[in-house]
Amino acid sequence: MASLTLYPDDERLAGGERAAFNLYLISALALFVLMMLVGLTMRMAQAKWLSVPPNLFYELLSMHGAGMVGTMALATTAVMWFFLRKYVRLHLWAFVANYVLFMLGAVCIILSIFVGGYGALWTFLYPLPVRGMGLWTSDTAALFMLGYLLIGVGSLLFYLDGAAGIIKVHGNLGRALGLPWLFGGKIDPAHPKAVVAGTMVIIANSLGILAGAVVLVMSLINIFYPTVLLNALVAKNLIYWFGHMYINATIYMGVIAVYELLPRYSGKPYPVSRPFLWSWAVSTLFVIIVFPHHLLMDFAQPRWLAIIGQVVSWGAGFPVFVVTAYGALSNINRSGMRWTMPSRLMVLSVFGWAAGIVPAIMDGTIRINLVMHNTQWVPGHFHFYLLLGVLAMVLALMFHEIGSRAHAPPNSGADKLGFPIYLVGGLIFVFAFLDAGHLSVPRRMAEHLDAWTPTDRLGSIGAILVVLAMLYFAVRITVGLLRAPRLGASGVRAQDAAG
């Protein structure tokens, strides 16, 4: 069970661990800000407030998509590592190797985009990477894919190390997930939620990354041996299997911060329960098989796959609403929790996740997808639970960690101003996307019709506010992380934070 001590000793970072953790978080902060600026540039171009040529726009879009997903994965991997290492033995070399491979992969991706002119987006949908129509070469596309492979290998290394550590303590992954307690038996209240969530991520995302590796290798073979043609539908299935799992894994890694930290700030225990274990067991299955909802408009797809896509998309709402969101709200209800940056961000993150999946579930409905697919409805819902959900989870841990180094949860006047700017800007930004989707404005388009610019302009205003808040957060957290680590006793107890 998670500790109720705000800054427990077993979370204290030793020299090498602290350097690696800082490296992850500070790199992620810098990349988040940069990728947000790229996103803002695109929204302002669509709003006709900036002139961006289409080739550059699609390069920026490729960078933003791959960059944001990658950065989210980098940051949430740090979240998972930070908590999981308390319960199982994780090797620092695996954590560092993931970082190094990620950065090498990022260099490949950046070079392919900004030197090679690659503009086939993060999706690299076959056969677009080899049909750049003079804008990029096949070799450039291969460099982009090599970047993905390097990042995937890094993630797999980290997961293998995590799996080994979990199996050593819990015997097998099923026990770590709590499967023996699903139908009865006395649940061990000390069984860590971080282990349950970490195990789920390791199982699901390893499969997703392997699917990605298969399609990347297939695509590379096609690039170097053009006579070997691929089945476009099979390639698309593998790409979305990989892509969906990879980005969803960030939510499941990020939410570990909420499970671990929320009870410390509310002062109320938040132990595992049978509904919790059911929700994670079901989510493990659902996240693996839900990806066909990305291919609902591919009518050549077998009908049963489309039905799975819809039914599982709807079913995926149960664990989020009934267990995670409801559990978090029950935990803070009448707890006497004092509002500081970590607690604010945690509650926002659960709200962002729960509210954001409402339009996502709608989009997973075949009848609705017929008019919403590939409109701005899609970035509307995923930005909702990534910007206001996952990023808020990551920021919560970051603020908590700088609090641990200053012996108090951060709550300065500037923090109190930055939070509402982030929240209001984020809501304006995502609702502008959703409204545009409802008005049938297409996504991923460099040139917008005049009729579409009002939502583009509203979205740009929201994005400016988010970037301003994020710039402040990035500077504030970086300075906090670079401070000397705390010394002495563990300090503040949960009751002190709870007021």
Partner 1 sequence: MIFQNVVWTLVLVGMGLVAVGFIYVVAQAGKPADEVATRKSTHTAHVLQAWLFAVLLVGFVAGSWATLHRFPIPPQHAELGAPQVVEVVGRQWSWQITPDTVQAGSTVEFRVTSADVNHGFAIYAPDGRIVAQTQAMPGFTNKLLYAFRQPGTYTVQCLEYCGLAHAPMRTTIQVVAPGGK
Q: Which of residues 262-281 bind partner 1 (CB under 8 A)?
A: 266, 275
* Closer of 107 and 451 to partner 1 (Cβ): 451
Residues 297, 250: contact at Cβ < 8 Å? Answer: no
Q: How far is the CB of 162 from partner 1 (least distance, A)?
A: 31
Report if residue 92 touches partner 1, rule: CB under 8 A. Answer: no
Q: How far is the CB of 439 from partner 1 (least distance, A)?
A: 7
Q: How far is the CB of 16 from partner 1 (least distance, A)?
A: 38
Number of other CB atoms surrounding residue 23 within 10 Å = 17
Q: Which stretch binds partner 1 (CB under 8 A): 8-16, 324-332, 408-416, 456-464?
A: 324-332
- Distance CA(200)–CA(279), nearest Å, equals 11
* Closer of 333 and 412 to partner 1 (Cβ): 333
Report if residue 242 touches partner 1, rule: CB under 8 A. Answer: no
Tell whether omega for the bond before 127 is within 30 degrees of 0, i.e. cis. Answer: yes
Q: How far is the CB of 452 from partner 1 (least distance, A)?
A: 9
Exactly one of 322, 406, 414, 479 binds partner 1 (CB under 8 A); that residue is: 322
Q: How far is the CB of 258 from partner 1 (least distance, A)?
A: 14
* Closer of 374 and 412 to partner 1 (Cβ): 374
Report if residue 52 touches partner 1, rule: CB under 8 A. Answer: no
Q: Which stretch binds partner 1 (CB under 8 A): 228-236, 251-259, 471-479, 481-489?
A: 228-236
* Closer of 236 and 383 to partner 1 (Cβ): 236
Largest CA distance in the chain: 69
* Closer of 14 and 300 to partner 1 (Cβ): 300
Q: Binding to partner 1 (CB under 8 A): which residues in 392-421?
A: none
Exactly one of 21, 24, 32, 58 binds partner 1 (CB under 8 A); that residue is: 58
Exactly one of 43, 236, 293, 400 binds partner 1 (CB under 8 A); that residue is: 236
* Closer of 117 and 198 to partner 1 (Cβ): 117
* Closer of 131 and 168 to partner 1 (Cβ): 131
Report if residue 370 touches partner 1, rule: CB under 8 A. Answer: yes
Q: Which stretch binds partner 1 (CB under 8 A): 108-116, 176-184, 194-202, 311-319?
A: 311-319
Q: Binding to partner 1 (CB under 8 A): which residues in 428-487?
A: 434-435, 438-440, 442, 444-448, 451
* Closer of 29 and 61 to partner 1 (Cβ): 61
Structure tokens at 243: 């892509």
Report if residue 333 touches partner 1, rule: CB under 8 A. Answer: yes
Q: Which stretch binds partner 1 (CB under 8 A): 206-214, 348-356, 412-420, 453-461?
A: 348-356
Q: How far is the CB of 133 from partner 1 (least distance, A)?
A: 6
* Closer of 161 and 456 to partner 1 (Cβ): 456
Exactly one of 326, 405, 407, 468 binds partner 1 (CB under 8 A); that residue is: 326
Q: Binding to partner 1 (CB under 8 A): which residues in 104-143?
A: 119-121, 123, 125, 127-128, 131-133, 135
Q: Binding to partner 1 (CB under 8 A): which residues in 278-307?
A: 297-300, 303, 306-307
Sign of CA dihedral 237, 239, 243, 249: positive
Report if residue 336 touches partner 1, rule: CB under 8 A. Answer: yes
* Closer of 190 and 329 to partner 1 (Cβ): 329
Q: How far is the CB of 23 from partner 1 (least distance, A)?
A: 34
Exactly one of 5, 137, 318, 486 binds partner 1 (CB under 8 A); that residue is: 318
Number of other CB atoms surrounding residue 202 within 10 Å = 25
The candidate with the shortest Cα–Cα distance to 27, out of 115, 137, 136, 102, is 102
The candidate with the shortest Cα–Cα distance to 390, out of 451, 360, 349, 443, is 349
How many residues sit in the footprint of partner 1 (CB under 8 A)? Answer: 80
3-state DSSP of the chain: CCCCECCCHHHCCCHHHHHHHHHHHHHHHHHHHHHHHHHHHHHHHHCCCCCCCHHHHHHHHHHHHHHHHHHHHHHHHHHHHHHHCCCCCCCHHHHHHHHHHHHHHHHHHHHHHHCCCCCCCCCCCCCHHHCCCCCCCHHHHHHHHHHHHHHHHHHHHHHHHHHHHHHHHHCCHHHHHCHHHCCCCCCCCCCCHHHHHHHHHHHHHHHHHHHHHHHHHHHHHHHHCCCCCCCHHHHHHHHHHHHHHHHHHHHHHHHHHHHHHHHHHHCCCCCCCHHHHHHHHHHHHHHHHCHHHHHCCCCCCCHHHHHHHHHHHHHCHHHHHHHHHHHHHHHHCCCCCCCCHHHHHHHHHHHHHHHHHHHHHHHCCHHHHHHHCCECHHHHHHHHHHHHHHHHHHHHHHHHHHHHHHCCCCCCHHHHHHHHHHHHHHHHHHHHHHHHHHCCCECCCCCCCHHHHHHHHHHHHHHHHHHHHHHHHHHHHHHHHCCCCCCCCCCCEHHHHHC
Q: Which stretch binds partner 1 (CB under 8 A): 13-21, 330-338, 415-423, 458-466?
A: 330-338
Q: How far is the CB of 180 from partner 1 (least distance, A)?
A: 23
Q: Binding to partner 1 (CB under 8 A): which residues in 148-207?
A: none
Question: Residue 133: left (phi > 0), alpha (psi -120 to 50), or beta?
Answer: left
Exactly one of 330, 412, 414, 475 binds partner 1 (CB under 8 A); that residue is: 330
